[in-house]
A and B are shown apart, each in its own frame.
Chain A
Amino acid sequence: MKHAAALLFLALGLGVASAQSAPALPKPKTKAEVLAFIKKTGSTPPDWFAATPLNYPSTLDLSWNQPPPGSPWDPNKNVGQFIWTSINENEARWKEGIKFLHHLLTVNKDKQATVKKVMAALGNMYHDLHQDWARAAFWKQMAGETDTLELAHCYFKLGSKDMAVDILTKYGPDNTRHASVVRLWAEVGDPARALKLAEQMANSVPDAGNLAAGDVCKALGKFPEALVYYQKVLDTKSGSRDIDHNKKRAQGSIDAIKVADGLDLKKIPDGTYTANSIGYTGPVDVEVTVAGGKISDVKVTQHHEKQYYSSITETCAAIIKKQGVKGVDATSGATITSEAIINATVKALPKK
């Protein structure tokens, strides 16, 4: 499950970092305060715990034996696979997941190794899914973790930057989880160190290093620099699944910046630009007219949408009014059509 945790950690880090408004920094606390808080909160259940039903396939092997290598993937039998395919992927099941793991604790109370495994899983689930930092730290400590990045992240979130930095400094540039280290450095407030680390990393693994550097810049709002790093990721020669994956992420970030940063209309020559995007029933064709550095008209030239006509005129009018797609809300109840118009508009306008 290590990979899963790492990935989710990354995703969450990204999510936090890419939020537009700067996240409120946790109130600083001393080490003793943080540890006491973890102990106190961690020993009590979350308020929804009692009301959450226990729900898992009856075919599941609750002893959580590691399936022998090469055995088929079977989420109805193997606990780890069940968590991976069903719990993690469905937000509606996240509370059930916690309930299930606590049930596993009781069921396996006589097996020390399994208990530790369940506690680590609880720590990950509280961290990755619920963002419940105190309980995550509590169960990670119970599982015997001391210097993990997730624990460092929890400490930081609970108010102790020092505890987080203590752990982070133990990770050199040669660590296999460098990308996570870079992002955490940026998050705890040392972007310079994060960038330096990322650049070092880019020497050996250009895709992951540049991606991490781009993410740091993006989180700081330095979009032009971020775009340079992301472009470097895209320029990396494909070769492995990981590289392709990182390229996809870089492209996603570039698109997000384009939307978030607004379009630099001044640089777009006058003209009519067209593109389409899939709406409710099929492609929605949009025609954007730029004149004198301004969006003078947005028209839906063809569509076969079946309902919510108002969204078509409303969304087009909103794009013209806001001179871009930033801050244009999808018409409620017609989000798909609205979003198709927004996406097609972004697609239509030439890239910088």
Chain B
Amino acid sequence: MNLDIFLPFHKKTKKGQEPPKPTRLGRVARAIFPTTFFSDPASGKKGLLRRVLQNIGTTWHSSPWRRVVQAGFFVAFLAFFCYVCWPYGGSGYAEHRESKEKVAAETFLILDPLVSLSTAIASRSWVWSLSAAAIILAVCLYVPRGFCGYVCPLGTAIDLFDWAIGKRVNRFKLKDDTRGWWVNLKYYLLVACLVAGCFGILLTGFVAAIPVITRAMLFIVSPLQMGATRGFYQVPSWNWGHAVSLALFAGLLGLGLFRRRFWCQYVCPSGALFSLGNFFRVAERKVESSCISCNKCVEVCPFDAIKTDYTTRAADCTLCQSCGGVCPTHSIKFVSRWDFSNLKKEEAPPERRPSRRGFLTATLTGAATAVSVQRLFGASVADTAAKDLPIRPPGSVPEQEFLEKCIRCGECFQACPNNVIQPMGFQQGLEGLWTPAVNANWAGCESGCNNCGQVCPTGAIRALPMEEKKVARMGLAILDEGTCLPLAGREACQMCVDECRAAGYNAIEFARVRVQVDEQGQPLPDSGFLAPVVLADKCVGCGLCQTRCNLINVKAKKLLRETAIRVEAGPGKEDRMSSGSYVQLRWEERKKREAAAPKAGGDSYLPDFLKEK
């Protein structure tokens, strides 16, 4: 087995020496590109490819293929977020997303094994993305921690930060060989997350790689994208949740001032899972005896994965192969773990193993955090009578399970065409932080859109087909009879009825109120007002009615202080089901209603007593 993909250090062939055979990748490249691209070992003249790469930078020069792959994945990540998830043209939101979504928009989230693992533990259920996690872990047996070096968009973002800022600030830099208490932090963090998960608290969203970068995109890139393309008035207001998330992200990037990829090497719990997976690796970096101890590989390694004796910290090596490309004696190879030929030195055991004390502390911390999050800052799910329960997106699983499954990645917010769902701050305590809630004052849920469920990586919002989503109740519109303009006798208004009809729900109908009568008690034509009446059996709580009431009556005309129609959540007002069909539920309800309805009792169009006198 040989996994070399680096661009070998360029050496002029000495007289009488055989020129080095090109690698497999090299042979393929030579078949495609003209010869001017490639160096000539005999004359020592560098080819075009090498000269260009040299100008870009050392890592591009030493292992260009890795950088190309990394860039490709990063572009894919950006495309998923900024193109597939949003924006949409016209009003066919679901169709438009579907037409763009050749590969699942949440691919990166389901590839992060910690996302699915911790969600499965917290909710004690099978999460379908576990299978995707298993696949990426299997691939990483061949390319240990390859996810971190090649795929992870957070890693790439950190690389970009280092290129733009990190490498120019030397004030905080650690010395190359400093390895302190922090080097095993990632394992402790991983254990803490999983222990908290056992207590039903999902902390992973704070620290797992892909949720962190997705949320950063949501809070930094998404408002800019929205503002630049649609106008900044369309960017919803911020809350403390945004500030906390941004502060965490800034801190994470700031770690890069200590050392390149400090976060990835020492802190990232998703990375820790891959490091653990490395126990079972079948390939690794090896150093041959021709090594001249020039230290170039140690300098270029972005992951602090090369020890002072030039052997490999296999748990940290991403197989980026930058070292291979800078080695002047071609002593570094990426081969089978059990290939011991011609080695400079047998691998020694890791020098700083995670300590028992560290794990114990992590376990206790995880448990304590979980308990305190629940007890002190919890969502008090049991208190369903509480006012202002958050209205969850359509198809959300029951609240307790929802909090256990929602990884707080932010993908649903981006996929929502009009920012109907917005991240919560601390209204529900720490437990509800960054979870999606409907802000019907801002916008209503479009009847023809089911995108939030389709992009949810953990199934906290079920991926409902359109016909199911259309009847899934997320809340119930409640009319304030004291303030509703026609009900209060102030003026005619039927915006909520129009909205509901246009959306196809027909859940609000008219009743004429405040009718004036003449002396005989007969109603005067056109007297009174047409007022809305919500039909509870048809309302799904989309909030379109509330949006219109807010935008026009509250904001534009300033007739009301708050909307006269409001969507409310709670038992009996919403359907929260882990499985099963909403269509079926509606059908059963209808059957029940029909059974209770007055019976026609043999009425006929023309009753017998009227037939031909």
Listed in ascending order, the chain A residues whose CB lies under 8 Å from chain B are 1-4, 6-7, 43-45, 49, 53-56, 58, 66-67, 69-71, 73, 75, 81, 84-86, 88-90, 92-93, 99, 102-103, 105-106, 109, 142, 241, 245, 278, 280-283, 304, 306-310, 332-335
CA A66 to CA B290, docked complex, whole Å: 110
**Are B512 and A89 closer than 8 Å at their CB atoms?**
yes
**Are B607 and A106 closer than 8 Å at their CB atoms?**
yes
Given A73-B515, A85-B512, A90-B509: A308 and B91 interface contact (C-beta under 8 Å) = yes
Q: Looking at A45, A73, A99, A304, which has the most chain B CB atoms within 10 Å of its CB?
A: A73
CA A3 to CA B515, docked complex, whole Å: 13
CA A45 to CA B517, docked complex, whole Å: 34
**Are B515 and A84 closer than 8 Å at their CB atoms?**
yes
CA A20 to CA B428, docked complex, whole Å: 58
**Is B103 among interface residues, defined by CB-CB distance under 8 A?**
no
Q: Which residues of A are found within 8 Å of B502, using beta-carbon distances?
A: 335
Can you spell out 13 A-B residue pairs with CB atoms less than 8 angstroms apart?
A45-B605, A49-B605, A54-B597, A54-B603, A84-B523, A89-B510, A103-B600, A109-B607, A278-B552, A281-B556, A282-B551, A282-B556, A307-B91
In the complex, what's the smallest C-beta–C-beta distance from B451 to chain A, in angstroms? 14
8 Å CB contact of B523 from A4, A280, A310: A4
**Are B530 and A89 closer than 8 Å at their CB atoms?**
yes
**B88 nearest in chain A by CB position:** A307
Q: Which residues of B are found within 8 Å of A71, using beta-carbon distances?
A: 521
Q: Which residues of A are found within 8 Å of B346, using beta-carbon distances?
A: none
8 Å CB contact of B525 from A3, A56, A90, A93: A3
Q: Which 4 A-B pairs have the closest CB atoms?
A: A45-B605, A282-B556, A333-B91, A7-B525
8 Å CB contact of A103 from B89, B524, B603: B603
**Is B610 among interface residues, defined by CB-CB distance under 8 A?**
yes
In the complex, what's the smallest C-beta–C-beta distance from B89 to chain A, in angstroms? 8
Q: Which residues of A are found within 8 Å of B611, using beta-carbon distances?
A: 43
**Is B55 among interface residues, defined by CB-CB distance under 8 A?**
no
**Are B555 and A282 closer than 8 Å at their CB atoms?**
yes
CA A335 to CA B501, docked complex, whole Å: 13
CA A45 to CA B524, docked complex, whole Å: 32
**Are A333 and B524 closer than 8 Å at their CB atoms?**
no
**Are B602 and A69 closer than 8 Å at their CB atoms?**
no
In the complex, what's the smallest C-beta–C-beta distance from A225 to chain B, in angstroms? 26
**A3 nearest in chain B by CB position:** B525
Q: Considering only CB atoms and an 8 Å cut-off, how many residues of chain B contact the other chain?
A: 49
Given A54-B603, A73-B515, A142-B610: A282 and B520 interface contact (C-beta under 8 Å) = no
**Are B603 and A102 closer than 8 Å at their CB atoms?**
yes
Q: Which residues of A are found within 8 Å of B530, using beta-carbon distances?
A: 89
**Is B482 among interface residues, defined by CB-CB distance under 8 A?**
no
CA A241 to CA B528, docked complex, whole Å: 12
**Are A54 and B598 closer than 8 Å at their CB atoms?**
yes
Chain B 502-521, CB-CB to A under 8 Å as 1, else 0, gives: 10001001111101011111
CA A105 to CA B601, docked complex, whole Å: 12
**Is B418 among interface residues, defined by CB-CB distance under 8 A?**
yes
In the complex, what's the smallest C-beta–C-beta distance from A121 to chain B, in angstroms? 14
**Are B609 and A307 closer than 8 Å at their CB atoms?**
no
Q: Which residues of A are found within 8 Å of B177, using beta-carbon distances?
A: none
8 Å CB contact of B510 from A45, A90, A103, A280: A90
**Are B519 and A245 closer than 8 Å at their CB atoms?**
no
Q: Which residues of A are found within 8 Å of B526, using beta-carbon distances?
A: 7, 245
**Are A55 and B597 closer than 8 Å at their CB atoms?**
yes
**B520 nearest in chain A by CB position:** A69
Q: Which residues of B are found within 8 Å of A99, using beta-carbon distances?
A: 600, 603
In B311-333, the 8 Å CB interface with A consists of none
8 Å CB contact of B598 from A6, A58, A73: A58
Number of inter-chain CB pairs below 8 Å: 118
**Is B423 among interface residues, defined by CB-CB distance under 8 A?**
no
**Are B609 and A109 closer than 8 Å at their CB atoms?**
yes
Q: Which residues of B are found within 8 Å of A49, using beta-carbon distances?
A: 605
**Is B43 among interface residues, defined by CB-CB distance under 8 A?**
no
Q: Which residues of B are found within 8 Å of A44, using beta-carbon distances?
A: 605-606
**B501 nearest in chain A by CB position:** A92
**Are B525 and A105 closer than 8 Å at their CB atoms?**
no
**A84 nearest in chain B by CB position:** B523
**Are B600 and A54 closer than 8 Å at their CB atoms?**
yes
In B220-241, the 8 Å CB interface with A consists of 230, 233-234
**Is B405 among interface residues, defined by CB-CB distance under 8 A?**
no
**B443 nearest in chain A by CB position:** A306
In the complex, what's the smallest C-beta–C-beta distance from A211 to chain B, in angstroms? 14
CA A53 to CA B515, docked complex, whole Å: 28
**Are B512 and A84 closer than 8 Å at their CB atoms?**
yes
CA A310 to CA B91, docked complex, whole Å: 10
**Are A1 and B522 closer than 8 Å at their CB atoms?**
yes
Given A73-B517, A307-B418, A333-B90: A81 and B509 interface contact (C-beta under 8 Å) = no
**Are B523 and A93 closer than 8 Å at their CB atoms?**
no
Listed in ascending order, the chain B residues whose CB lies under 8 Å from chain A are 89-91, 230, 233-234, 417-418, 443, 502, 506, 509-513, 515, 517-527, 530, 548, 551-552, 555-556, 594, 597-607, 609-611
**Are A53 and B605 closer than 8 Å at their CB atoms?**
no
Q: Looking at B443, B601, B606, which has the most chain A CB atoms within 10 Å of its CB?
A: B606
8 Å CB contact of A3 from B523, B601, B606: B523
In the complex, what's the smallest C-beta–C-beta distance from A53 to chain B, in angstroms? 7
In the complex, what's the smallest C-beta–C-beta distance from A143 to chain B, in angstroms? 11
CA A7 to CA B512, docked complex, whole Å: 15
In the complex, what's the smallest C-beta–C-beta distance from A246 to chain B, in angstroms? 11
8 Å CB contact of A307 from B233, B417, B524: B417
**B229 nearest in chain A by CB position:** A309
In the complex, what's the smallest C-beta–C-beta distance from B586 to chain A, in angstroms? 16
In the complex, what's the smallest C-beta–C-beta distance from B93 to chain A, in angstroms? 10
**B513 nearest in chain A by CB position:** A85
In the complex, what's the smallest C-beta–C-beta distance from A109 to chain B, in angstroms? 5
**A43 nearest in chain B by CB position:** B606
CA A7 to CA B515, docked complex, whole Å: 15
8 Å CB contact of A241 from B230, B511, B524, B555: B524
**Are B603 and A281 closer than 8 Å at their CB atoms?**
no
8 Å CB contact of B607 from A2, A54, A105, A335: A105
Given A89-B530, A105-B607, A283-B556: A69 and B519 interface contact (C-beta under 8 Å) = yes
Q: Which residues of A are found within 8 Å of B418, using beta-carbon distances?
A: 306-307
**Are A4 and B525 closer than 8 Å at their CB atoms?**
yes
Q: Which residues of A are found within 8 Å of B89, using beta-carbon distances?
A: 310
CA A304 to CA B513, docked complex, whole Å: 33
CA A89 to CA B497, docked complex, whole Å: 12
Q: Which residues of A are found within 8 Å of B520, using beta-carbon distances?
A: 69
In the complex, what's the smallest C-beta–C-beta distance from B53 to chain A, in angstroms? 44
Given contacts A49-B605, A102-B604, 20 further A-B contacts (CB under 8 A): A43-B611, A56-B598, A69-B519, A70-B521, A86-B509, A93-B509, A99-B600, A103-B598, A105-B603, A105-B610, A106-B603, A106-B604, A109-B607, A241-B524, A241-B527, A281-B551, A281-B552, A282-B555, A307-B418, A308-B90
CA A171 to CA B398, docked complex, whole Å: 69
Q: Which residues of A are found within 8 Å of B606, using beta-carbon distances?
A: 43-45
CA A304 to CA B547, docked complex, whole Å: 13
Q: Which residues of B are found within 8 Å of A43, using beta-carbon distances?
A: 606, 611
Q: Which residues of A are found within 8 Å of B523, using beta-carbon distances?
A: 3-4, 81, 84
CA A58 to CA B596, docked complex, whole Å: 10
**Are A85 and B511 closer than 8 Å at their CB atoms?**
yes
CA A49 to CA B603, docked complex, whole Å: 11
**Are B551 and A310 closer than 8 Å at their CB atoms?**
no
Q: Which residues of A are found within 8 Å of B594, using beta-carbon distances?
A: 53
**A303 nearest in chain B by CB position:** B231
**Are B555 and A106 closer than 8 Å at their CB atoms?**
no
**A334 nearest in chain B by CB position:** B91
Given A54-B597, A54-B598, A282-B555: A3 and B234 interface contact (C-beta under 8 Å) = no
CA A280 to CA B548, docked complex, whole Å: 7
In the complex, what's the smallest C-beta–C-beta distance from A58 to chain B, in angstroms? 7
In the complex, what's the smallest C-beta–C-beta distance from A277 to chain B, in angstroms? 11
**Are B555 and A86 closer than 8 Å at their CB atoms?**
no
In the complex, what's the smallest C-beta–C-beta distance from B477 to chain A, in angstroms? 17
In the complex, what's the smallest C-beta–C-beta distance from B504 to chain A, in angstroms? 12
Q: Which residues of A are found within 8 Å of B527, using beta-carbon distances?
A: 241
